[in-house]
Amino acid sequence: MKGTHLGEFQEIVLLTIMVLDDNAYGVSIKREIKTRADRNISRGALHTALSRMEEKGLIKSWQGEANKLRGGMPKRYYEVTNKGVNALKEAKDVRDQLWNEVPRLRLQHNYG
């Protein structure tokens, strides 16, 4: 199994960036995850995930515009690279495969 192994949190961040499309930067990523997954993540944790993935080449970033609402400090926008998309797909494939292999019966909830 070649390619890059993605952690669960990293996968969510990657997907969120893709969802946000042009508007993926620190605050928006954080808020999106909060609304969709009801997960409160710290900016620190997000920073670690983003910087690791950027190091691996899964995302790239560029400096955006400054904004009065940010104390005049520029945003940094993130975008998923092709490598990142591939990694996501790979992760999805693995899961899909596994889902398909699971015996149908097992999928029903056991009561009792």
Partner 1 sequence: MKKSLPTPPKLYSRLFKRLCRDELYFELQGDLLEEYWLNVEERGYRKANRAYKMEVVRLIRPSVLKLFQKQKKHYNNTAMLRNYTKVAFRSLSKNKLFTFINITGLAIGMSVGLLIVNLVFDAVQFDQFHTNKDRLYRVLSTPVRPGLNSDQSATAPNILGDQMKADLPGVDEVVKIRRWFSGRIKMEKGSLFTQGIYADENFFDVFSFDLKRGNPSTALSNPFSIIITETLAETLRPGEDLMGQILTIPDRGEFLVTGIVADPPVHSHMKFQTIASFSTVKALEDQGIISNNSQSWEDYSSGYVYFLLEEGQRMDNVQVWLNQKGLDVSNQFENLDVTFATQKITSIIPGKDLNNQIGAELIPLPIIILGAIAMAIVLSACFNYTNLSIARALRRSKEIGVRKIVGSSKRQIFTQFTIETVIVTLIAVFFSYFLFLVIKPLFMLSIPRIDQIMQPETPPTLMIFFVLFSIVIGLIAGLFPALFFSKIKPLTALRNNSSLKLFSHVNIRKALIVVQFTLSIFFLITMNVVSKQYRYAMIHDMGFEKENILNLSLNGNDARKLITEIEKIPEVSKISASSMVVGTGASQSYMIKNPVRNDSAYLNFISATPEYFDIHDIDVVAGSIYEPRKPEERLNRMMVNEKFVEFQGYSSNQEILGEQFIINGQPVTVTGVVEDFNFQYIEEPIRSLVFFESDIRFDFLNLSIQTALLPNTIDKLETAWDVVDSETELEVKFLDQELEESNAFLVIFVRVFGFLGFIAASIACLGLLGMAVFNAETRIKEIGIRKAVGASIGNLVMILSKTFIRLISISGIVGSFLAYLVLDKLVLAQIHYRVSIGVLEIMTAIVILFSLAILAVGSQTWKAARRNPVESLRYE
The residues that touch partner 1, with contacts defined as CB under 8 A, are 25-27, 30-31, 42-45, 47-48, 51, 66-67, 69-71, 73-76
Task: Report the nearest approach of partner 1 to the CB of residue 38 (Å).
Answer: 16
- Among residues 51, 58, 62, 61, the alpha carbon closest in space to that of 82 is found at 58
Name the token pair of 12.
């969510």
Task: Report the nearest approach of partner 1 to the CB of residue 104 (Å).
Answer: 44
Based on CB atoms, which residue is closest to partner 1, 29 or 91?
29
Task: Report the nearest approach of partner 1 to the CB of residue 106 (Å).
Answer: 39
DSSP codes, 34-66:
HHHH-----HHHHHHHHHHHHHHTSEEEEE---
